[in-house]
Chains A and B, each alone.
Chain A
Amino acid sequence: MRYSALRVIKEALTGHKGWEPVWRSPEPKKHYDVIIVGGGGHGLATAHYLANQYGINNVAVLEKGWIGGGNVGRNTTIIRSNYLLPENEPFYEYSMKLWEGLEQDTNYNSMVSQRGILNLYHSDGQRDAFVRRGNGMLMAGSDAEILDQDGVRELYPFLDFENARFPIKGGLLHKRGGTVRHDAVAWGYARGADSKGVDIIQNCEVTGFDIKDGVCTGVKTTKGDIGANKIAVCVAGSSSRVMAQAGMNLPIESQVLQAFVTEGLKPVLPGVVTFGAGHFYVSQSDKGGLVFGGDLDGYNSYAQRGNLPVVEDVCEGGIAIMPAIGRVKLLRSWGGIMDMSMDGSPFIDRTHIKGLYFNGGWCYGGFKATPASGMCYAHLLATDTPHEFAKGFKLDRFRRGGMIDEKGVGAQPNLH
């Protein structure tokens, strides 16, 4: 069913009786060309692009719970292509371009809102690093502007310019960055994939892989065995647990990242702001809540809940740059499990097991990558060659010495 203005009006006047399910709920078939394990944003995007760009629609997405229930359903909704390194920036810029056409592509309003992202800097060293980053962004076809203190003041007059421990000296502005209604991304991709015949199967947990002589031919699930020519794992947050079923250990640790939302407010923040001398980033949702986050809890965890010191640390960061939000009340905090990779960058790669593919290690940056990750993974699955923008995201890069370490903190996941 295509959504159109006419349709919306008609349904409104006839009691919304005609709306159909956004996706079907089929029973699994015995065999597929491609099985995607994980019905999160990346898995659904992969299915969408496999079916819509690469013409492969004999595809199943297997989700152990409800689709979009992973990190696509619990992030802080930011999209951006303001990365530093040449292995990353073109990929995220590609993602940004796909975001810009997403609604027309999926016929679903995911509310892509390019409200601008401002990264504040507080020292000359940070400014230098931002100039390097900004020029790299421009070279990759993205947008960047460097602002001095007055430039920041013009956009956000109520930041703490007078009394700060680390005074704001300026910022790197990325105007095409912004926010997206995160749940709608999963639903939009589900709709796009489903409409081309992809089977989205919820409440279907993969409990093992059928591997013989180094070839993977299918999966065992709570809904029975399902065969496939290619099995594409896409379960960031649970990557180590799932890949352990294939006998693989990964360069990944699982850690908790918290996110926060306040009560709804009338518009205060036009765009996204990040603090450069502490861990805090914030935007305001269309509903009015300030959505913000900060540092990882900092230790291995699968608990999907946060600790108290990080709540304090993040709010301290918030008050440090915006003392005007002090009386706004934090409504809800939650925690998600991140695939923290050893260099802070992701993987989209084949494994040493034929027919088994892996997408993961997105750290806390997976949401913004969703479209490009889906497209590049679909490309890999369809052609068995890496997509030009995802060439760096290989599992063997640590052995080769080709780390993609944006922050330069080395093989310590909790610092990325």
Chain B
Amino acid sequence: MKINDVILRTITKAIVFIILTLGVYLFFAGHHAPGGGFIGGLVLASAIVLLYLAYDIETVHKGMPFDFKKVAALGVLLATGTAIGSLFFDVPFLTQTYEYVNVPVFGKMGFSTVTIFEAGVALTVVGVVVTIILSISEDE
């Protein structure tokens, strides 16, 4: 039996971009406003899960040919990598640093190693959530 899910698919097409944008916004907003790596990652993951719900696995996989286990592993590598990276600058493990720079056009901007760390968190969350949902739904 084929379920008619035209409405879901149509809405998904429009809404996925909004969710994805929200995810990226939340990720970068995290430093000064609500948001951050974990929430950003969760929102991104929920957008991908929505795609999987609306379309079948093969179609989504064509558009996003990632192995999400590797995405998660990359995330952990980034998070632990920034932690170990601080050792090379002769500061204790996991020391984070930041700098405020005046960039033309954008004005004062903050750059921080926390961002890399949080990117690791976000990637892990995306990778793990999608891996779990995919492996359960594909299970025969």
Indicate, yes or no, whether A interacts with B: no
Name A residues whose Cβ lies closer than 8 Å to a Cβ of B: none
